[in-house]
Structure 1
Amino acid sequence: MREGSASTATKTPPARLSGPQGDDADAERRRARTAAVGTALVGVAVVAVLTGPWLERRFGLAALGAWRTLLVAIVMQGVPFLVLGTIVSAAIGAFVPDRVFSRILPRNPVLAVPVAGVAGVVLPGCECASVPVAGSLMRRGVAPAAALTFLLAAPAVNPVVLVATTIAFPGRPEMVAARFVASLAASIAMGWLWIKRGREEWLRLPKGHTHSAPGAGRLEAFRRGLQHDFLQAGGFLVIGAMAAATFNVLVPPSVLEAFSGSPWLGLLVAAALAVLLSVCSEADAFVASSFTGFSPTARLAFMVVGPMVDMKLIALQSGAFGRAFAVRFCAATFVVAILCAVLVAGVLL
Structure 2
Amino acid sequence: MQTILRKGPFVAAAACLVLLALIVARKRPPDFGTLAAFPWSGFKTIFISILLEAVPFVLLGVLVSALLQVFVSERTVRRWTPRHPALGVLFACTLGIVFPLCECGMIPIVRRLMRKGMPVYIAVTFILAGPILNPVVYASTFAAFRSHPEMAYSRMGLAFLVAAAIGLLVRAFVRRSPLKREHPGLASGADEGGGGRHDHGRSARGAAHVHGAPGSGKLAATFGHASDEFFEMGKYLLIGAMLTAVIQSAVERESLAAIGQGAWSSHLFMMGFAYLLSLCSTSDAFVASSFASTFTSGSLLTFLVFGPMLDLKNTLMLLSVFRVRFVLALAALLAAAVLTGSRLFELYVLN
State if a TM-score over 0.5 links the two structures.
yes
Code of the aligned partner of 2:110: A
Q: What is the aligned counterpart of 1:204 among 178, 192, 204?
A: 178
2:98 aligned with 1:122, yes or no? Answer: yes
Aligned to 2:328: 327
- Measured in 2, the distance between the counterparts of 1:166 and 1:72 equals 27
- Measured in 1, the distance between the counterparts of 2:53 and 2:65 equals 18
- CA distances 1:183-238 after superposition (whole Å, capped 9, x unpaired): 12211111112233x1325x434445226851123134445656776786577557
- Measured in 1, the distance between the counterparts of 2:234 and 2:136 equals 15
2:170 aligned with 1:194, yes or no? Answer: yes
What's the CA shift for 1:144?
1.8
- Measured in 2, the distance between the counterparts of 1:70 and 1:132 equals 28
Contact map agreement 1:38 1:232 (CA 8 A) in 2: no
Q: What is the aligned counterpart of 1:86 among 52, 58, 62?
A: 58
Code of the aligned partner of 1:276: L
- Measured in 1, the distance between the counterparts of 2:20 and 2:138 equals 25
- SS of match in other structure, 2:95: helix
What's the CA shift for 1:94?
2.1
Aligned to 1:296: 297
| Residues 236 and 329 of structure 1, relative CA distance in 2, 3 Å threshold | closer
Higher Cα radius of gyration = 1
What's the CA shift for 1:118?
1.4
| Residues 285 and 227 of structure 1, relative CA distance in 2, 3 Å threshold | farther
What's the CA shift for 1:153?
1.6
- Counterparts in 2 of 1:311-322, with a 5 A limit? 311-322=312-323
Aligned to 1:268: 268
- Counterparts in 2 of 1:200-239, with a 5 A limit? 200-201=175-176, 203-207=177-181, 209-210=187-188, 214-222=218-226, 233=237, 236=240
| Residues 228 and 32 of structure 1, relative CA distance in 2, 3 Å threshold | same
Could you tell me the TM-score, scaled by structure 2's length?
0.67
What's the CA shift for 1:86?
3.3
Contact map agreement 2:13 2:238 (CA 8 A) in 1: no
Contact map agreement 2:179 2:322 (CA 8 A) in 1: yes
- Counterparts in 2 of 1:1-349, with a 5 A limit? 36=14, 38-39=16-17, 82=54, 84-96=56-68, 97=72, 99=74, 101-166=77-142, 168-169=144-145, 171-196=147-172, 198-201=173-176, 203-207=177-181, 209-210=187-188, 214-222=218-226, 233=237, 236=240, 240=244, 243-244=247-248, 247-248=251-252, 251-252=254-255, 256-257=257-258, 259-291=259-291, 293-346=294-347, 347-348=349-350
| Residues 283 and 261 of structure 1, relative CA distance in 2, 3 Å threshold | closer
Unaligned runs of 5+ in 1: 1-25, 52-58
| Residues 134 and 83 of structure 1, relative CA distance in 2, 3 Å threshold | closer
Farther-moved stretch of structure 1 (33-42 vs 119-128):
33-42
Alignment coverage as a number of residue pairs: 305
Contact map agreement 1:41 1:239 (CA 8 A) in 2: no
Code of the aligned partner of 2:130: A
- CA distances 1:270-328 after superposition (whole Å, capped 9, x unpaired): 11222334334344334434445332321221221122223444444444332222222
- Measured in 2, the distance between the counterparts of 1:81 and 1:161 equals 14
What's the CA shift for 1:182?
1.6
Report percent identity of matched pairs.
26
What's the CA shift for 1:246?
5.6
- Measured in 2, the distance between the counterparts of 1:33 and 1:284 equals 30
Cα root mean square deviation, aligned: 4.3
- Measured in 2, the distance between the counterparts of 1:236 and 1:156 equals 20
Farther-moved stretch of structure 1 (36-45 vs 211-220):
36-45
Code of the aligned partner of 1:204: P
Aligned to 1:14: none
| Residues 147 and 73 of structure 1, relative CA distance in 2, 3 Å threshold | closer
Contact map agreement 1:278 1:312 (CA 8 A) in 2: yes
- Measured in 2, the distance between the counterparts of 1:74 and 1:300 equals 26
What's the CA shift for 1:333?
1.4
Aligned to 2:205: none
Code of the aligned partner of 2:92: A
